[in-house]
Amino acid sequence: MKFSESLYESVKEIWESYYTHPFVKGIGNGTLEIDKFKFYMIQDYIYLLDYAKVYALGIVKADREDIMQGFSSMVNNILNGEMSIHRSYMKRLGITYEEIENTKASLANISYTNYMLAVSQIGGLPEVSVSLLACMWSYLEIGRNLSKNPGAVDHEFYGEWIRGYISKEYVGCTKWLIDLVDELSENLSPKDKERLKEIFINTSKYEAMFWDMSYNKEM
């Protein structure tokens, strides 16, 4: 079994809870209140700025040019790819950059990004990679799950969000990160692998907290 597969098994129950979460389900069936989605978009935009910084740490920690290039591409994909979805919704929702700049990150948001940055700064490239994986991979799985709902992909408002996370580009980026985690874990001790699994479980729990925070508009 690949290490990434064992990671998935360790959080399977947590990830499956995402699919039934009222926020995620609301996106899938088109019933999520717009004000909750707007709250989420602003918080997620703030989150992605720190998420990109963790990828930038990958460039610093890497000692191979190809891995440095990979992390560099991921930073670009977040700032100019994934966040383009957010910018599109910002226009549709009337969200200005000034509004984002004047909005504080929620407690759940701060806790999540600070945790990723902490374990990445203290640890090595495996810690950086695993701390990033739950967010990226779970969004792909959520997108795939929601795309099974009749009409979800073509929904006039939420369809764009779903399509973004099942796009060829997003799938490719996710596969790159999964493959990197498998490569980096090949020669690690069982103790080191358990430490990485702990990070993966914790970040998966933070993802659940982020959905709760968004649905309840908790600061």
Model pLDDT, residue 82: 61
Terminal CA-CA length for the chain: 40
CA distance 105 to 175: 29
Model pLDDT, residue 79: 83
Q: DSSP labels for 141-166?
A: HHHHHHHTSTTSTT-TTTHHHHHHTT
**Residue where the block lists tokens 């460039």:** 59
pTM score of the predicted model? 0.92
Phi first, then psi: give them for residue 2, nearest 5 degrees.
Answer: -65, 155
Query: Averaged in consecutive runs of 10 residues, what is the pLDDT profile of the chain (219 residues)?
Result: 95 96 96 95 92 94 93 88 75 85 94 97 96 96 94 91 91 95 94 96 98 94
Model pLDDT, residue 30: 93
The answer to whether the CB of 136 falls within 8 A of the CB of 47 is: no
- Architecture of the domain defined by 3-216: Up-down Bundle (1.20)
User: Tens of pLDDT along 53-107?
Assistant: 999 999 999 999 999 999 999 998 888 766 667 778 888 888 888 888 889 999 9
b/e map of 154-168 (b: 16 or more CB within 10 Å)?
Answer: ebeebbebbbbbbbe
Model pLDDT, residue 80: 79
Where in the chain are the domains? 3-216
The answer to whether the CB of 151 falls within 8 A of the CB of 163 is: no
Give the three-class secondary structure for 33: coil
Instruction: For residue 57, count other CB atoms closer than 10 A to its CB.
Output: 20
Which sequence positions are flagged as catalytic? Answer: 135, 207
Token pair in block for residue 55: 């990828």
Model pLDDT, residue 85: 74
Token pair in block for residue 8: 């998935």
> With the C-alpha atoms ordered 33, 218, 97, 161, is the resulting torsion angle positive or negative?
negative
